[in-house]
A and B are shown apart, each in its own frame.
Chain A
Amino acid sequence: MRKFSLDSGVSRRRFLQGAAGTGLAATAGCLGGGGGGGDDRVPMDVTEWPPEDISSSLNMWNWYDDWAEWAIDAFGDEYDVEVSNSGFSSPDQWYSQLEAGNEDIDNIAATTNWVERSIENDFLHEIPVDVMPAWDNITDRIKEASSYRQDGSVYAVPEALVLYPLTYNDEYFDSAPDSWGVLWDDEHEGELCMWDNATVSCQIAALYTGQDPIQPDDFDEIEEVLIQQKPLLRTYWGDYQQGMSLFVNEDVVAGPLTMGRTYTARFSEGAPVHYTAPQEGAMYTSDLFVIPRGAPNPIASLQFTNWASQTENAAQLFETMGYQPAVDISDELSEEDAEFTNWPDDWNLVFSETLSDEVRSRYDEIWTAVQAA
C-alpha cells in the first residue's frame, strides 16, 4: 500500500501548486456568478427598441425600498428576469463600490450630485435615450433640473424629484407657515426640529437670511442664526425614520422633512402633517437611474430603466413612497393624492446644485460649530 507522504510522494512544489490552484478556483467561485450569464454588450450598442436577448438577472441598488419591492415582481414577471435589490441609506455605500471597481451592480437610483461625481470619474455607461420610448415621458421640468449630460452624452435617466420642504402639523397651524422664520419663532419653543445635515440646515438658514443657498455671501450670519435657533429645538434628527417619528408622535410641529416621509406620515401613519415651500424658497433635487460601468447585465438594466419610466410604473413610486416621479402621473392619481403632490407654480423652488468645495467645507465647519456651541 502506498502511504501518503509529503516527504516523498508529494513534492513541496506540487503541494503549493495544488493549494494555489484550489485558492484560485475558490476565489473565482466567490467573485464570479454575479449576473446570470452576464452580457458583453454596453447600452450604446442598443440601436433599436426593444433590445434583444436581455440577460436573466438584474441587480439593482434602489433606495425607494417599497417601490423596489413592487418592481422586483412586476418587472421580473414581465421580462422573466430575476431581480434583486440592495437598499441603501447613504449614496456613499454604492459610490465606494464603483470606486473599488464595480462587478455586481446593474442599476442605481442615484442623487444628482452623486451622478455628477460619477460622470466626472467615468463610472457610468452612456445611455441611448434616443432609442428609449419612455424617455419622452420624462417631464421637461425634471430634464432641465437634473445634471446627467456631459459633452452631449446622456448618462442618467431621471427617476424622481425630491423636495426638501417645510413639514408642519396642520392641526397645530391654521394655515401653512409662509416663512422659514417659523423655525425661529419662540412661540413654538421645544416643538421644532432641524435635520442633522450640514448642507440642508445651512441652506435653510441661508434662505431664511435672504442669501443664495448655493453661494452664500455671509457665512457668519448663517452660523449666528443657527446658534440662535438651538434653544428652540427639540432635536436634530439624523435618520429619516426618526425624523418622521417626531411628526407622527407629535413631538414637533414644524421642521424639515422629505416629501416622501411626509406622505408616509400622513397617509400610512395617519399623522396630521402637510408640507409647504416657504416664500423664501425650498431646495429640491432629483434621483436618477444610472447604469454603472462593470454592470454584469447592462442591457437588462437599460430595459428596466425604460420600464420604470413608463407612466403606470412611475406612478407606483408615488403610490408606494410618496415621491414625485420624473414622469407626469397626474392622470393616474386620486384627487387626494393629486392635491398632495401638486406643487403650486408660485412656489419658489431652488435646485440643489452641487456645492463648491469651499461652500461645502464652510457649511460643514458651521454645522460642527453650531452643534458644539
Chain B
Amino acid sequence: MAGRSDAGSAIGDRIDAITAYFRSRPRLRTLVVAGPPYAVLVLFFAIPLLVMLVVSFQTSEIGGPWTLSNYTNFLTSETYLTVVWQTLVISLQVTAIIAVVGYALAYSIVRFSRRTTLLLLLVILPFWTSYIIRMYAWINILQSDGVLDSTLNLFGLPAVGLLYSQPAVLIGFTYVWLPLAILPFYASLTNLDPDLIEASKDLGAGPIRTFTSVTLPMTKNGVITGLILTFIPTFGSFITPRLLGGTNNIMIGMVIENQFKSAFNWPFGAAIGMVISVVVVALLILATRFGGGLFGQRSQGGAEA
C-alpha cells in the first residue's frame, strides 16, 4: 500500500511540475493548446487551397506558363454556367426538402417522443454505412421492379420506375444529408423553452402564428446551420447524380471530377473549384449574417438562449 501511495504521489508531483512549467510560460501554453488545430488547418486546408489557387493560374501543363484563361474559359462559357445553374437549382431543391422533412422530424422527436436517444441513433445510423453502398441500396429500391415498384404493385398501384430521374437524385441527396440537418435542428429545438409556446397560445395565437412568430425565429440559428451543412455538400456532389440520375442531371462536381480523372486538365479543374469555393463561401457568409451559428456569433435564437 505504501508503495502504491509513493507511486501515486510521484505521478502527482510530475503533473504539478508540468502544470507549473506551462503556467509560467503563457506563450508556450497557447502554442501547445492552439498549435495542433492550427497546424491541421494549415496543413490540410490552407496549403492545399493555396496549391489549388496556384495551379488554377497555369496552362494545362502543371509547371507551365501562367494564364488567366482557365477562369475566362469557365466564366464565359454558357455550357459551364448552365451546369452551375442546374447545380444551384438541385442544391436549393434538396435544401428545401430537407428543411421541411428534417425540421418536422426533429420537432416531433423533441416534442412528442419519449425514446429520444433511440430516435437520434436511428437518424445517424446511415452514417455507419459507406456512401456508395447507400447509393447502391437506393438503386435496388428505385429500379424497375425494385423494392418500391414491387411494394406499389402489392397495393395494386402502377410501378413508377424512378431510377435514373431527377426525383431519384433528390431522394438520394435527401437521404444522405438529412442526418446532418436534423442534428442542429434538434439541438436548437431542445433549447427552446416550451413555456414560450404556451405563452404564445395563451395570448391567443394559433399553431401557425405560434410557429412563425415563436418557434421558427427562436430556432433560426439551428435551421440555418442545418441548411448550410446540407447545401454545401450537395453543391459539390458528383456520385449521387452519376449513380441515380438520368441523362439530364449533370452537376458541377461531375465536371470538376472529369477534369482531374479523364480530361487531365488539372488547372481548369482547379479554376472551377476555386470559383465554386468562392461562391460557396459567399453564400456561407450571407447565411451567417442571417443567423447561422457556424462562426459561433451570438444572437437571440435557440441554442444560445
Contacts and interface: CB of A to CB of B under 8 A. Distances in A.
Interface residues of A, number: 35
B268 to A, nearest CB: 8
Contact of A245 (B86, B139, B242, B262): B139
A196 B242 contact: yes
B264 to A, nearest CB: 7
A29 B264 CA distance: 35
A18 to B, nearest CB: 14
A130 B18 CA distance: 66
Interface residues of B, number: 36
Contact of B144 (A90, A242, A249): A249
A361 B70 CA distance: 12
Contacts, number: 82
A363 B245 CA distance: 21
B139 A234 contact: no
Interface string A230-269: 1001111011011001000101000000000000000000
Given A197-B262, A249-B143, A360-B263, A371 B247 contact: yes
A238 B246 contact: no
Interface stretch (A4-12, A20-28, A210-218, A279-287): A4-12
A363 B234 CA distance: 26
Interface in A282-312: none
Contacts of A363: 263
Contacts of A198: 258, 262-263
B261 A6 contact: no
Contacts of B144: 249, 251
Contacts of A361: 60, 263, 265
A251 B143 contact: yes
Interface string B110-121: 000000000000
Contacts of B259: 364
A57 B263 CA distance: 35
Contact of A365 (B13, B17, B79, B250): B79
Contacts of B197: none
Contact of A6 (B18, B145, B247): B18
Interface string B245-270: 11110100011001111111100000
Contact of A199 (B20, B136, B243, B262): B262
Contact of B82 (A230, A233, A241, A372): A372
Contact of A235 (B10, B60, B79, B246): B246
23 contacts: A4-B17, A5-B17, A5-B21, A6-B17, A7-B21, A196-B242, A233-B247, A235-B245, A235-B246, A236-B247, A238-B243, A239-B243, A249-B145, A251-B143, A360-B263, A364-B258, A365-B79, A367-B258, A368-B80, A368-B83, A371-B247, A372-B79, A372-B83
Given A199-B262, A236-B247, A242-B243, 7 more contacts: A6-B17, A92-B260, A196-B242, A234-B246, A360-B263, A368-B79, A372-B250
Closest 4 A/B residue pairs (Cβ): A371-B250, A238-B242, A364-B263, A235-B164
Interface of B: 10, 13-14, 17-18, 20-21, 60, 79-80, 82-83, 86, 136, 139, 143-145, 164, 242-243, 245-248, 250, 254-255, 258-265
